[in-house]
Amino acid sequence: MKGPLGRREFFADAGGLALCTLAGVEVLSNERADVEGLAQGIEVPPKVLAAQERGQNPATTQTVFAATTRAAREYWIRAEPIKRWDMVPTGRDEMMGKKVKGKTTFPAYGYRPYSAGFAEPLGPASIPGPLIEGTVGDTIIVHFQNKLGTPVTIHPHGVLYSADMDGAYKGKFTDPGGFIQKNETFDYVWEAVEGTQGFWIYHDHGPMDPLPLYKGLFGPLLIRDPGQPRPTKEFFCGFHSFLPVATGINAAFQCINGRAYAGNTPTFRSNVGDDVAFYVYAIDDDFHTFHVHGHRWKAEGSGAVIDNVTLGPGDSLTARFIEDNPGRWFYHCHVFSHLHLGMNGWYLVE
C-alpha cells in the first residue's frame, strides 16, 4: 500500500488520463511512454517511401514565394537525445526556500544548433531549442537532421510555407517533411512575408506527436519588423510541463524553459530605462497565464493596460514595456497549482 502522496506526486497521480493513442496503444499521462518502441508500429507513409527509393531529398533550397523575398537566412539544426536533463539543477525551490525532494533528471530530447553543413555544434542540445529568427522579407531555410530513434520534424507557426514544408504527419498523406527518420536530413523553406512579423514557436509535429514535444522538442521563432526598433532586453519564456509520460518520474513539474522553481528557471535582468520585451509561449495541454509583479504593459491588439494574460496551448505573446521599477520581482504562471509546481522565476531590475 502506498503512503501519503506529496504535492508533486498528487498532481502526477491526478493526471493519469488517456493522453493519446499511438500505433494502436493507449498512452496514459501518468505512465512513461516508450517513444522509440511505439514508433516501430508506425508505417512509413507512401510519399516518404517513394522519396527513399529515388534516393532523393525532395526538399529544395529555392524560394517558395520568390516575389516576396529579399534575403535567405539559414539554420542547421539536429534533433538529439539528451542523456540526463535536470529540471531542478540546484535541488532547491528558492520561492519557498526548500529542497526539492525526489528524482529530477530524465532522458530528454532537444534541438541542437550547428554551423553550416553540420560542421560543428554551436551549443548543446537544449530545452527549448535555439531561437530561429528572421526579418520580414527573408526566406528562412532550416536544414534539419534527426539523430533520434523515432521520426520527428520541425513545424513552424506564423510564417508562410507550402504544404510540403509543413513538417506535419498526416497519415497516408504525409509529405517527406512530416516523417524525418533517424539520420535523415530535410530542408524546410519558409517565408517571412508581410503580416508574419511577431513572436511564434516551432515544435515537433511528427508521427509520435505529442510525446517528442513533451520530451523537449520545441523552441522560439521570431520575425522582426524592419520598421520597429529592437528592444534593448529580450527574454524568451516557454511555459510547459514535464509529466510522467515523458519523464518516468512519479511527479509533475511545471516548467519554464525546461526548468522548475525559481533559482533553476531563467533569472532575467534589466536596468531602469531599458526597452524590455518578454516573449512568452505555452506548449503543453494546459492553459497558463503570464504575470510579472510590479509591471504592466499594453495588450497586443486592444492596447488595454494589463499585467496578467492567458495563453492556451500553442499560443504566444509579446509583453513589451519601458522598465521603470527596480527591485527583485517574480514572473510566473498565475494558475496557482502551476506556480507551486515550479512555474515561477526571478526578474531582477537594477
> Per residue in 83-104, pLDDT tens?
999 999 999 999 999 999 999 9
Structure confidence at residue 60 (pLDDT): 43
pLDDT digits (tens, 9 = 90+) for 226-267: 999 999 999 999 999 999 999 999 999 999 999 999 999 999
Structure confidence at residue 301 (pLDDT): 85
Sign of torsion over alpha carbons 222, 224, 230, 231: negative
Judge whether residue 22 has pLDDT over 90. Answer: no
pLDDT tier for residue 61 given thresholds of 50, 70 and 90: very low
Give the amino acid at 4.
P
pLDDT tier for residue 4 given thresholds of 50, 70 and 90: very low
Sign of torsion over alpha carbons 332, 301, 286, 151: negative
Whether 270 and 349 have beta carbons less than 8 Å apart is answered as yes
Structure confidence at residue 7 (pLDDT): 46
The single residue listed with the C-alpha cell 527591485 is 327
Cα distance between residue 329 and residue 92, in whole Å: 18
Structure confidence at residue 167 (pLDDT): 97
Structure confidence at residue 54 (pLDDT): 82
**Taking residues 7-30, what's their average pLDDT?**
66
Cα dihedral: 97, 256, 321, 158 (round 10):
-170
Structure confidence at residue 70 (pLDDT): 61
Nearest in space to 8 (alpha carbons), one of 220, 291, 266, 247: 247
β-pairing, 218-224 with 132-135? parallel
pLDDT digits (tens, 9 = 90+) for 101-138: 999 999 999 999 999 999 999 999 999 999 999 999 99
Which domains does the chain carry?
7-349 (2.60.40.420)
pLDDT tier for residue 27 given thresholds of 50, 70 and 90: confident
Q: pTM of this prediction? A: 0.91
pLDDT tier for residue 6 given thresholds of 50, 70 and 90: low
Give the amino acid at 57.
N
Judge whether residue 49 has pLDDT over 90. Answer: yes
pLDDT tier for residue 208 given thresholds of 50, 70 and 90: very high
Cα distance between residue 237 and residue 107, in whole Å: 22
